[in-house]
Amino acid sequence: MEIILKDKVKEAVQKLYNSEIQDDLIQIQETRKDFKGDFTVVVFPLLRFSKNTPERTGETIGNYLLENFPAISGFNVIKGFLNLEISDTWWVDYFSKLAQKADYFEEAMVSHPETILVEYSSPNTNKPLHLGHIRNNLLGFSLYRILAACGHKVIKTNIVNDRGIHICKSMLAWQKFGNGETPESSGMKGDHLVGKYYVLFEKEYKAQVEKMIADGVNENEARNNAPMMKEAREMLIKWEAGEKSTFDLWKLMNTWVYAGFDETYKKLGVDFDRIYYESETYKLGKELVLDGLNRKILYQNEDSSIWADLTAEGLDQKLLQRSDGTAVYMTQDLGTAVNRYNEYNFSKNIYVVGNEQNYHFQVLRAILKKMGFSWADGLIHFSYGMVELPEGRMKSREGTVVDADDLISEMQDTARDVSNELGKLAGFSEDEKQEIFRKIGLGALKYYILKVDPKKNMTFNPSESIDFNGNTGPFIQYTYARIKSVFRKAEQMNIQADAHRIESSAAGTKEIDLIKLLRRFPEIVSAAATEYSPALIANYCYDLSKEYNQFYHDFSILGEENAAVRNFRLVLSKVTSEILNRGMWLLGIEMPERM
């Protein structure tokens, strides 16, 4: 509609003032709620053509449109704003087409689909997943769904950081203090068990450093030479050399961790198309580094460590290979990026990684470009903010890290308690109830996290996150469940929603308000895809739910005597529920039929 109006205004200016005018001078927007009308033309930019006051110009253009454009049924001018009223017939006609559409994503489809890799999760195998990872996983998965809904070919990738000195730390601690403990023997989830030994390492290491400092060693030296750290470094060298016992232990502990991760991913409802392991890509990274050295793009120190000089790019010197010949994080990432490009020939490779690594990705891209890979421009760091607690940052040392598994089960427990308290779901089987509680608990958690702008740091307030009122996932789920309930009743009464038989006389202003919101869905999806922001969809779904709830409250649907009006409201309800369902689907949130 906006596009048609734009053309019409353009035509009006041309006819009335005899001037050709650029498109961007014509601004059409939805009229604010407190004014009469549907669309507003901002006339200020047009004054230079009319050479007249804003009011007179508005009047003149308004009159022209009224006479030459049947969809317009009236207008008013307030200050410099020309408010156009669109006839109900036009709206109803528009809605009728929308309601008969099978695919609500159609208009959001891009004309040139791309191959896009979305890298997310990227866990370390030495720690279980926590709240921060949840944000990562939810954002990544949702981004995948949004891009795919727009028609792109999207591949979900997950690179597992399964090598490096940090892995050796938990292995070393397990060797020293583990006494052969396994997930089976301890009853612990594998990732939690390995995490336990990582913490043990840090504790022991810290104690050694402190002791050395107390004995007069300076801090840096103590950190470097503490026995635990030395042993870990030796282990890494052994591992890179492929020494069998080290390698076997590594493999064993990895299987524990992966089993643990899979369980958590499954609960969260996320998955991957292609999993990479750094243990498989770091060698390519090392080759690249050597190649770069040969081509004099990189340089070597006397201690034989290899560096990139990025001062010309406004960055620093960056280490790419240690003096002992082992790879660092950056080396691995160089390898993975090249590996992926060779495999998929992607146009974009989106990394969902926290903003603490902004610098890392700047450097990664700079090095790749220096090496001559022009596709490095397609590497996009989707940088999201930290999750903080009301008391501040999560600190593992203080035990304030919110564990992903615990959080998920707590949310479901709360869903159960609230539901029972409200006396809902009587007469359902225990399994059915569990399934509903699962959807609500997860819905609350996911929505709470996804509704905020990804790039901002966010506060995770536990008591707020389990609130099911207001701008929350369960509120939207509730709206949906309510509509479903209407349709269950309608079926009993043998009433159907018939999108082919919508009569324009049945529309009121409240209905048209809802239609206006519904029509924005494709636009929101496109915006979410280009701005990488699931939050846009979340907030849209909330607005729509709120609008519908008011509608629901104001009108009787099934009790309505007039069949045409009843049908109109039913169709409206139907479309609302479908769009809510799809919107939430893009966020990875499931909708319960009842709650």
Partner RNA sequence: GGUUCCGUAGCUCAGCUGGAUAGAGCAACAGCCUUCUAAGCUGUGGGUCCCGCGUUCGAAUCGCGGCGGAAUCACCA
Chain positions 117 to 136 lying near RNA, rule: CB under 7 A, are 124
Instruction: Using the minimum distance from each CB to RNA, give the nearer residue, 14 or 485.
Output: 485
CB of 185 to RNA, least distance (A): 28
Please give the structure tokens belonging to residue 578: 């479908």
Please give the structure tokens belonging to residue 246: 């080290």
- State how far the Cα of 374 lies from the Cα of 351, in Å rounded to an integer: 18
Q: Looking at 132-140, 263-271, 299-307, 334-342, which segment touches RNA (CB under 7 A)?
A: 299-307
Q: Is 392 exposed, middle or buried (0-12, 13-18, 19+ CB in 10 A)?
A: exposed
Q: Looking at 25-33, 110-118, 196-204, 511-519, which segment touches RNA (CB under 7 A)?
A: 25-33
550-579 residues near RNA, rule: CB under 7 A:
550, 552-553, 555-559
**Binding residue (CB under 7 A) for RNA from 189, 322, 438, 582:** 322
**Binding residue (CB under 7 A) for RNA from 59, 93, 181, 467:** 467
Instruction: Specify whether the CB–CB gap between 139 and 539 falls below 8 A.
Output: no
Instruction: Using the minimum distance from each CB to RNA, give the nearer residue, 100 or 461.
Output: 461
Q: Is 411 exposed, middle or buried (0-12, 13-18, 19+ CB in 10 A)?
A: buried
595: contact with RNA by CB under 7 A = yes
Q: Looking at 59-67, 286-294, 366-374, 447-455, which segment touches RNA (CB under 7 A)?
A: 447-455
CB of 355 to RNA, least distance (A): 5
397-416 residues near RNA, rule: CB under 7 A:
415
Instruction: Using the minimum distance from each CB to RNA, give the nearer residue, 93 or 307.
Output: 307
- 419-438 footprint of RNA as x/- string (CB under 7 A): x--x-x--------------
Site size toward RNA (CB under 7 A) is 92
Q: Looking at 77-85, 102-110, 189-197, 578-586, which segment touches RNA (CB under 7 A)?
A: 77-85
338: contact with RNA by CB under 7 A = no
178-217 residues near RNA, rule: CB under 7 A:
none
Instruction: Using the minimum distance from each CB to RNA, give the nearer residue, 221 or 464.
Output: 464
Burial 244-268 (b: 16+ CB within 10 A, else e): eebeebbeebbebbbebbeebbeeb
**Binding residue (CB under 7 A) for RNA from 40, 121, 158, 526:** 40
CB count in 10 Å sphere of residue 98: 18
Instruction: Specify whether the CB–CB gap between 536 and 527 falls below 8 A.
Output: yes
Burial 345-379 (b: 16+ CB within 10 A, else e): ebbbbbbbbbbebeebbebbbbbbebbebebbebb
Instruction: Using the minimum distance from each CB to RNA, give the nearer residue, 164 or 190.
Output: 164
- State how far the Cα of 270 lies from the Cα of 264, in Å rounded to an integer: 9
Looking at residue 345, the DSSP 8-state letter turns out to be -
- State how far the Cα of 113 lies from the Cα of 148, in Å rounded to an integer: 9
Instruction: Using the minimum distance from each CB to RNA, give the nearer residue, 339 or 549.
Output: 549
**Binding residue (CB under 7 A) for RNA from 253, 418, 507, 565:** 418
- State how far the Cα of 196 lies from the Cα of 208, in Å rounded to an integer: 19
H/E run at residue 379: strand 379-384
**Binding residue (CB under 7 A) for RNA from 166, 192, 516, 582:** 166
Please tell me the chain's helix, strand, coil percentages from 3-state DSSP, rounded to the nearest 5: 60, 10, 30
240-279 residues near RNA, rule: CB under 7 A:
278
Cα dihedral 426, 430, 434, 436 in deg (nearest 10): -40
535-554 residues near RNA, rule: CB under 7 A:
535-536, 539, 542, 546, 549-550, 552-553
User: Which of 556, 552, 557, 563 is CA-nearest to residue 506?
Assistant: 563
**Binding residue (CB under 7 A) for RNA from 289, 328, 565, 589:** 328
Q: Is 530 exposed, middle or buried (0-12, 13-18, 19+ CB in 10 A)?
A: exposed
**Binding residue (CB under 7 A) for RNA from 95, 478, 521, 532:** 478
469: contact with RNA by CB under 7 A = yes
- State how far the Cα of 173 lies from the Cα of 127, in Å rounded to an integer: 14
- State how far the Cα of 122 lies from the Cα of 455, in Å rounded to an integer: 18
136-165 residues near RNA, rule: CB under 7 A:
161, 164-165
485: contact with RNA by CB under 7 A = yes
- State how far the Cα of 175 lies from the Cα of 179, in Å rounded to an integer: 7
Instruction: Using the minimum distance from each CB to RNA, give the nearer residue, 406 or 464.
Output: 464
CB of 244 to RNA, least distance (A): 22
Q: Looking at 92-100, 257-265, 269-277, 534-542, which segment touches RNA (CB under 7 A)?
A: 534-542
Phi, psi of 549 (to 5 degrees): -60, -35
**Binding residue (CB under 7 A) for RNA from 489, 498, 562, 563:** 489
362-391 residues near RNA, rule: CB under 7 A:
362, 383, 385-386
276-295 residues near RNA, rule: CB under 7 A:
278
Please give the structure tokens belonging to residue 568: 């109109």
359: contact with RNA by CB under 7 A = yes
CB of 285 to RNA, least distance (A): 12
DSSP 416-455: HHHHHHTT--TT--HHHHHHHHHHHHHHHHHHHHHTS-TT
CB of 267 to RNA, least distance (A): 19
Q: Looking at 245-253, 287-295, 449-457, 574-582, which segment touches RNA (CB under 7 A)?
A: 449-457
301: contact with RNA by CB under 7 A = yes
